[in-house]
Amino acid sequence: MAGNVDDKFVPTILPFLPPGVRFSPEKGDLIEFFLKKKILGQPLPTDCVPTLEVYSINPDQLPLPTDAWRVRDEWYFFTTKPNTDSVIPTNDGYYSVITEDQIIKQEDEDVGYMTTMAYFQGRPPKGKKSKWTIYEFRVKPDTIPATKHDDALKAKVSSFVAVNLFVKVKNRKGSTQGKTRMTEQSQK
């Protein structure tokens, strides 16, 4: 199977994720407490987010965990973003940007950005939109002061992202609807 999975792909469920609790962080929390800490090499609050080269393959081919603490049809990963414009090709399709850089706030401070992407099967621009959507989260570079002096850290901040991969579901009328929770939060 394509894609590189790190040694900690099988996360540890910590005591503060009791039965019935699902891992589904707020956008600002995902950036501040997971992505930023991962970039800086600091301990994470929980080991729920594996590192995987998401953009290298079709989402149907990703090794998607089915842990009980995950929200159904929703996964979180850390990944490296290729240095491309709005289209990221794979072997049988491509990821394409749908909406650009929404500013994400945490306690009234800008902490990062969210870009919405969809996966298309085929070749651009004639690909067929699949059931997969990705919210890609990036840290706002100036929230990490060391990036001004550390070129390696600066490169990591610009290319290392957290993604929320999920399946768009069809309602009874056949139209697609996204994740209610994330959509409602976008309005705030």
**DSSP states along 68-109:** TTBPTTEEEEEEEPPS-SSEEE-SSEEEEEEEEEEEEEETTE
What mean pLDDT comes out for the span 97-125? 95
What element of type H or E holds 113? strand 109-121
Tell me whether residue 7 is in a domain: no
Number of separate domains in the chain = 1
pLDDT at 80: 96
Question: Measured between alpha carbons, how far is 83 from 102 in angstroms, rounded to an integer?
Answer: 19
Tell me whether residue 11 is in a domain: no
The CATH number for 123's domain is 2.170.150.80
Q: What is the extent of the structural domain holding 97?
A: 27-62+69-183
pLDDT at 85: 76
What mean pLDDT comes out for the span 16-31? 81
What type of residue sits at position 176? T
Tell me whether residue 39 is in a domain: yes
Residue 45 in tokens: 């609050």
- Output DSSP code: residue 5: B
Question: Measured between alpha carbons, how far is 61 from 146 in angstroms, rounded to an integer?
Answer: 37
pLDDT category at 183 given cuts 50, 70, 90 is very low
Average pLDDT score, the chain: 81
pLDDT at 66: 72
pLDDT: is 148 or 23 the higher one?
A: 23
Tell me whether residue 3 is in a domain: no
pLDDT at 171: 57
Tell me whether residue 47 is in a domain: yes
pLDDT at 178: 54
- Tally of CB atoms within 10 A around 166: 21
What mean pLDDT comes out for the span 122-145? 94
Tell me whether residue 9 is in a domain: no
Question: Measured between alpha carbons, how far is 159 from 40 in angstroms, rounded to an integer?
Answer: 13
Tell me whether residue 2 is in a domain: no
pLDDT at 69: 61
136: pLDDT strictly greater than 90: yes
Tell me whether residue 10 is in a domain: no
